[in-house]
Amino acid sequence: MKLQRELQIVNRLGLHARACAKLVKTANQFESDIVLRQNEHQADAKSIMGLMMLAATQGTRLTVITSGADAEDAMTQVQHLINNRFEEDE
């Protein structure tokens, strides 16, 4: 199964190191491949360096693509984390 969804980074600091770490940890719970795409840049959600190098600031629109057996759960969790500002206050 393959899913694709547009999401926006809403937390103030953007995809900073600790946010990336949380995203990697979440992504690692799934078998599916999880990719974040921003224009021509693309990052594996299981690679912290890749995510950090996306340099996605607050307001950045990303395309999340999950593909694999648990693609649906993966998408739900990733979406929840991003929309929930990585559990940060602002």
Binding site for other proteins (CB under 8 A): 13-18, 20-21, 24-25, 47-50, 52-53, 55, 57
1 vs 47: CA distance, rounded Å: 22
Residue 16 falls in the annotated catalytic set: yes
Beta carbon of residue 1, minimum distance to other proteins (angstroms, whole number): 25
CB atoms within 10 A of CB 51: 23
Query: How would you classify residue 85: left for phi > 0, otherwise alpha for psi between -120 and 50, otherwise beta?
Result: left
Choice between 45 and 75, CB closer to other proteins? 45
Which one of the listed residues 7, 16, 42, 60 is annotated catalytic? 16
Would you please indicate which residues are annotated as catalytic (active-site) residues? 16
